Amino acid sequence: MAEWTNLTTDSALELAEQAELGAPAADLVAEGMRPEPFVERLQEEGLLSDAIAVMARALPMREAIGWACLCDRSTTPEDDDPLHAALLGAVEQWVREPTDEHRSAALELAQDEPDQSSGQMLGMATGYSAGEVQVGSNPPVDVPTDTVPPMIAGAVMIAAGRVEPSEAEQTRREFVQRAVEVAAGRSGRLPGDG
C-alpha cells in the first residue's frame, strides 16, 4: 500500500484521539502506526462509521469537504429539494475556489436550511473552516475549527443513510474508498461516476 500524501497528520493514534473513537476501533491503533493500515483495519473489521470519522480528520479541511460533496452527490435523489442543491453547489464552488465570498455564501445558505441535512452540515463546515465567521456587518467571531470534521463525517453518514438498508454497508465502504483516493492525491471519483 502506497503512503498517502494528502493528510493532516501521519499519526493514526492522533487521528483516533481527535475522533474520540471508542472500543473496538481505538483498540486497533498502535503507537507509531500510520493512517493507511489503521483505516484498512477499520474496514476489515466493518467499523466503517469509525473509518469515516477518521478520514474526516485525516484529510485537509478543503479536501474533506470536497470528499463529502462527492459522497452526497452519489446518493442525492434527482428530485431533491432545491435548497439542498443550492447548498451543495455553493459548497462545491468554495471547494473549487476557496474564497471568503464563497465560504460566506455557503454558510448563509446553510443558515436558511430549516432541517439538519447533509447540505446544511457541509455549508456550516465550509463556513467554519476559516476559524471565524462574520454575519452581515457584525465583527468576525472566532469559531473552533475542531467542530468541522464531525460535521463532515455527519454529512457523509447522512448521505449514506439515503440508500436502501441492504446497500448501506457497501455505500459506506465506497465512501471510505473515495476518501482513500483523495488521501492518495487523486480525485475521489470511483469507476462508474458520471
**How many Å apart are CA 143 and CA 136, to the nearest integer?**
16
Q: Dump the DSSP string for 20-47.
A: T--TTTGGG--TT--HHHHHHHHHHTT-
Q: How confident is the model at residue 1 (pLDDT cuts 50, 70, 90)?
A: low
Any alpha helices (H) in the chain, and if so which ranges?
12-18, 35-44, 48-58, 61-75, 82-96, 100-112, 118-128, 148-160, 168-183
Report cis status (omega within 30 of 0) of the bond before 191. Answer: no
pLDDT value of position 191 = 72
Q: How does pLDDT run across 91-117, given as a tens digit for each residue?
A: 999 999 999 999 999 999 998 877 788
State the cell numbers at 30: 498502535
Determine the pLDDT at residue 194.
Answer: 61
Residue with C-alpha cell 443550492?
86
Lowest mean pLDDT among 86-100, 152-166, 176-190: 176-190
